[in-house]
Amino acid sequence: AGGGGLGGFGGRVSDGLIAYLKREQGGATWLAAFGNAQPAAQVILTTGRPALAMGGFLGSDPAMTVERLRDLVAAGRLRYVIPGGGVRAATRGDRGLTQWVESTCTPVDPVEYGEPRPPGWPDLEPTPKGRRADGTRVYRCGE
């Protein structure tokens, strides 16, 4: 059920994105890492595959560090990161994670998972609160 990509906190993960993540998971342990538990739970329940909630339930818990995320990617255990969403989206801890992802990983063209490109993609500017103008972006990290 459902289109609509992943529009930040409370957003649903589209069927197209779920299919893309499953198809591209490769040998990674985790299907993807999300900013909070809501999209991670949806993906786990839909696919039966593990997903990470980097900011805990609401996105406000420091459950993930840059070092841990870097290690998961370097070990090939995680390929996709979707950092947006949650209360923590504009906090210092999440900005560190988001900055690492943006500087290290490659944005996935939404067309690859059946979504239209937002205006200005891929050169979207951060909004004043630290979120992306398009709400959420999917990043491919590592191999």
List average pLDDT for each run of 10 residues in the chain, which is 143 residues long. 45 89 96 91 96 75 86 97 61 69 91 84 56 66 85
In sequence order, the 6+-apart residues with CB closer than 8 A to the CB of 76 are 26, 27, 28, 142, 143
* Distance from the Cα of residue 35 to its chain's centroid: 6
**Positive/negative CA dihedral, 18, 92, 61, 85:** negative
pTM assigned to the model? 0.79
* Spans of all domains in the chain: 15-140
CA 113 to CA 52: how far, in whole Å?
20
**pLDDT, position 15:** 93
**pLDDT, position 116:** 86
**pLDDT, position 21:** 97
Quote the Cα angle for 82-63-52, to 5°. 40
CA 55 to CA 122: how far, in whole Å?
25
**pLDDT, position 119:** 74
